[in-house]
Chains A and B, each alone.
Chain A
Amino acid sequence: MYKVISREAIAPDTFDIWLEHPNIHKRAKPGQFLILRLDEFSERIPLTIVSTAEGRLRVIIKTIGKSTYKLCAVKPGETIADIVGPLGNPSEIDRFGTVCVIGGGVGIAPLFPIAKALKEAGNRVIGILGAAKKELLIMKDEFLPHLDELYITTDDGSEGIKGTVTVALQKVLKKEKVEVIWAIGPMVMMKFVSLMAAENNTLCWVSLNPIMVDGTGMCGACRAEVGEEVKFTCVHGPEFDGRKVKWDELIKRQYQYREEEKRAMEDYLKEMGGKNA
């Protein structure tokens, strides 16, 4: 059992949660993730580790379906049944020169430890953070000390550049030579950043977020075609060179359970009398 230490709403439907864990801070590295299972009835869901401290770890969760609603409804002091991690391979952090880190929506959270580590490794770090609108933009202030430059984009223009993260990336690439790009966010966003990176002949790490069950390489639910090879995201990734990912297939696979997810959510809301977390 793992205790919830704190829970704070940082944007609409988005919660910043610290959990008690005896030893994950000793091992977790940027880019790695966890699998959480709330209780006996719950699914196993993957979540990236945002930060760690002595005896605890931090995740940021957006409520998009039954499982995330249930997780975000757990109050400080209450517990989560299972946490397993750190899983996946750490990000390949090195001193590259100038790097550009791009986060979209709730994908900004998993980008945070990577940006921080890149800065610490001595890189010039350009950040691009994008959201649908101003209210949904998370962690801006936390990123600032680890960035040399920051671009904000919003779909509706309520803050920063109006448009998607690729609009800002275009500006960056015109201005200077970027050695490596990191992009984390919705698959569609990662796809378009990867296309732009390919055009610019720049390595582009993306953190894939397909459906997972065990997260330990024993089922293949999270498989993705990367450079003509089938890879299991949980053990071979989650980071891959986005230029080599077969995106369209992966994006469609992500919606495989849409009907079931909708049904679970509707049933849950009915059970809760229409009240949310």
Chain B
Amino acid sequence: MVEKFKVRMRELAPSERVNNFEEVALGYTKEEAITEANRCLQCKHKPCVSGCPVGIDIPGFIKALREGDIEKSSRILKDANNLPAICGRVCPQEKQCELACVVSKIPGSEPVAIGRLERFVADQNISLETAMKPSVNKRVAIIGAGPAGLTAAADLAKEGFSVTVFEAFHTAGGVLVYGIPEFRLPKEIVAKEVEFVKSLGVEFRFNQIVGRTIPFEEIKNEYDAVFIGIGAGAPRFMGIPGSNHNNIFSASEYLTRTNLMKAYLFPRYDTPVKIKDRVAVIGAGNVTMDAARTAKRLGAKEVHVVYRRSEEEMPARIEEYHHAVEEGIVFHWLTLPIEYIGDINNNVTGMKCVKMNLGEPDDSGRRRPIKVEGSEFVMEVDMVIEAIGQTPNAILKAGFPTVRLNKWGNIDADEASGRVEEGIYAGGDIVTGSATVIEAMGAGKRSARAIKSYLLRKG
């Protein structure tokens, strides 16, 4: 008989954690991990594996764990996934591996906590000799050191290719360092995973913007293959009247200041971030939750999440939503801001909103929000963070003039291989638009495989 529920993971109490940026979820102890590992049925057909974008042998690593062989468990994980400490923390497992878990099909039972187990094993810091193939005399350039680029780089290095990563920022990680907050993904963990990638012989060149610092043509000429993983890039703004009032930010700016530039440690770190009493965050995705919970930790008295649809359509992970609720974030469903109001100094003082109703489903399959006539009201706020998604960066067209784009302005790449044209591959958000960390890693993995066979075929 399988235990119905996942072993609970200890967490910092909401009242304590809203005052700091420490990691909320504390991870399993070894006993807890083994107890949870014992809930796995070791299915022969492994439906969980097909739910994992990078195809980890899930029953395999869990079996090794419950036999107490953490080294073997770690090896199985790292065979498929170069960044398991990150995935264990930020993957939406409920929509991936855990969705397919057979245990969850038993009425009233939760799936095996695959993500938490992956995190446990990765956090044991087992240093492994990585199986490296003999060196191949081929050079691959990776543009962008986010999840897609790091994955492609590591996989290609393991295959013996000489890999160079070009990164615009001064540090590696992409969204893992500028977007996802410390309290969900400690930057120390990201640095450790990047160290692993470096240990495979991958060379990193920072402060390199393709198209500005270094022309794309030059990279194409110098390398045998190129992988472009530069992310979704530019924030979308709602563009309603008053959008350029002071203290209205994109979530990208707000989170970049706080996470990458460590503004939460201002003035020890030089970059400031605004701290206001009444903050509204627009949207209901994971970035919205991150921004709202960050605002709370920085000292906002009230944080309001404003979303034009209802709780049911909210795209954020349910776990993050629960964390936000526990931390006192207030949610306003079926509400759409239509204008920002400012004072004489251009500071935002309020937000004119309208209530919504849900109509028929739209293209995305979610019910379309429709304005309720005469329902306007003003919400008093002194800061607004827009977290409504991203669009491809303007730098893309300038940087990669020859690369084919699709009608959304993203790179037009083959879904299975990421192939764009001969020798050029792309993957992650720059191809799909904003998606998840693990999907980007999956794309990096598929492209690495395609690049390998392309280069070996080319000879």
Whether B394 pairs with A230 at a CB distance below 8 angstroms is no
Whether A253 pairs with B246 at a CB distance below 8 angstroms is yes
Whether B169 pairs with A235 at a CB distance below 8 angstroms is no
A3 contacts B by Cβ under 8 Å: no
Whether B346 pairs with A219 at a CB distance below 8 angstroms is no
B41 contacts A by Cβ under 8 Å: no
Whether A220 pairs with B212 at a CB distance below 8 angstroms is no
Whether A252 pairs with B345 at a CB distance below 8 angstroms is yes
Contact of B168 among A23, A37, A84 (CB under 8 A): A84
Interface size on B, residues (CB 8 A): 43
For window 231-278 of B, CB contacts with A under 8 Å fall at 231, 233-235, 237, 239, 243-247, 249-250, 252-253, 256-257, 261-262, 266-272, 274
Whether A218 pairs with B213 at a CB distance below 8 angstroms is no
Nearest-neighbour CB distance to chain A for B429, whole angstroms, equals 11
A20 to B257, CA, bound (A): 28
Nearest-neighbour CB distance to chain A for B303, whole angstroms, equals 20
Whether A82 pairs with B394 at a CB distance below 8 angstroms is no
B395 contacts A by Cβ under 8 Å: yes
Whether B206 pairs with A218 at a CB distance below 8 angstroms is no
Q: Which residues of B contact A84 (CB under 8 A)?
A: 168, 170, 207-209, 213
A86 to B274, CA, bound (A): 29
Contact of A252 among B246, B257, B267, B393 (CB under 8 A): B246
Whether A235 pairs with B395 at a CB distance below 8 angstroms is yes
Whether A86 pairs with B213 at a CB distance below 8 angstroms is yes
Whether B209 pairs with A87 at a CB distance below 8 angstroms is yes
**A216-B393 contact in complex given A84-B207, A230-B243, C-beta closer than 8 Å:** yes
Q: Which residue of B lies closest to A219 (CB)?
A: B253
Contact of B253 among A44, A220, A236 (CB under 8 A): A220
A263 contacts B by Cβ under 8 Å: yes
A175 contacts B by Cβ under 8 Å: no
A267 contacts B by Cβ under 8 Å: yes
Q: Which residues of B contact A37 (CB under 8 A)?
A: 170
A260 contacts B by Cβ under 8 Å: yes
Q: Which residues of A contact B269 (CB under 8 A)?
A: 41-42
Whether B234 pairs with A232 at a CB distance below 8 angstroms is yes
Whether B272 pairs with A219 at a CB distance below 8 angstroms is no
Q: Which residues of B contact A23 (CB under 8 A)?
A: 213-214
Whether B272 pairs with A257 at a CB distance below 8 angstroms is yes
Contact of B244 among A41, A42, A213, A249 (CB under 8 A): A249
Q: Which residues of A contact B170 (CB under 8 A)?
A: 37, 81-82, 84
For window 190-245 of B, CB contacts with A under 8 Å fall at 206-209, 212-214, 231, 233-235, 237, 239, 243-245
Q: Which residues of B contact A41 (CB under 8 A)?
A: 262, 268-270
Contact of A236 among B169, B256, B267, B394 (CB under 8 A): B394
**A218-B267 contact in complex given A86-B213, A223-B244, A230-B239, C-beta closer than 8 Å:** no
Q: Which residues of B contact A221 (CB under 8 A)?
A: 249-250, 253
Whether A260 pairs with B207 at a CB distance below 8 angstroms is no
Q: Which residues of B contact A85 (CB under 8 A)?
A: 212-213
A268 to B208, CA, bound (A): 31
Interface residue SS majority, chain B = loop
Q: Which residues of B contact A67 (CB under 8 A)?
A: 270
A66 to B393, CA, bound (A): 31
A261 to B269, CA, bound (A): 12
Q: Which residues of B contact A249 (CB under 8 A)?
A: 244-245, 346
Q: Which residue of A lies closest to B168 (CB)?
A: A216
Contact of B346 among A81, A82, A252 (CB under 8 A): A252
A217 contacts B by Cβ under 8 Å: yes
Whether B271 pairs with A213 at a CB distance below 8 angstroms is yes
Nearest-neighbour CB distance to chain B for A84, whole angstroms, equals 4
Nearest-neighbour CB distance to chain A for B163, whole angstroms, equals 21
A218 to B250, CA, bound (A): 9
Q: Which residues of B contact A220 (CB under 8 A)?
A: 234-235, 237, 249-250, 252-253
Q: Which residues of A contact B247 (CB under 8 A)?
A: 256
**A235-B394 contact in complex given A87-B212, A252-B346, C-beta closer than 8 Å:** yes
Nearest-neighbour CB distance to chain B for A163, whole angstroms, equals 28
A87 to B211, CA, bound (A): 10
Q: Which residues of A contact B234 (CB under 8 A)?
A: 217-218, 220, 232
Whether A213 pairs with B261 at a CB distance below 8 angstroms is yes
Q: Which residue of B lies closest to A254 (CB)?
A: B246
**A219-B252 contact in complex given A27-B213, A85-B213, A230-B244, C-beta closer than 8 Å:** yes
Q: Which residues of B contact A264 (CB under 8 A)?
A: 266-267, 270, 272
1/0 per position for A246-272, CB-CB distance to B under 8 A?
Answer: 101110110011001101100110000
Q: Which residue of A lies closest to B269 (CB)?
A: A41
Contact of A235 among B214, B235, B261, B393 (CB under 8 A): B393
Q: Which residue of B lies closest to A214 (CB)?
A: B256
A225 contacts B by Cβ under 8 Å: yes
Whether A230 pairs with B237 at a CB distance below 8 angstroms is yes
Whether A253 pairs with B244 at a CB distance below 8 angstroms is yes
Whether B271 pairs with A82 at a CB distance below 8 angstroms is no
Whether A42 pairs with B270 at a CB distance below 8 angstroms is yes
The chain B residues found within 8 Å of chain A, CB to CB, are: 168-170, 206-209, 212-214, 231, 233-235, 237, 239, 243-247, 249-250, 252-253, 256-257, 261-262, 266-272, 274, 345-346, 393-395, 398
Report, nearest first, the 6 A-B pairs whose CB atoms are least far apart: A260-B272, A252-B346, A219-B253, A84-B207, A43-B270, A82-B170
10 sampled A-B residue pairs with Cβ under 8 A: A37-B170, A41-B268, A41-B269, A84-B207, A86-B212, A218-B231, A218-B256, A219-B235, A232-B394, A252-B246
Given contacts A219-B250, A253-B346, 4 further A-B contacts (CB under 8 A): A213-B253, A217-B394, A223-B244, A230-B237
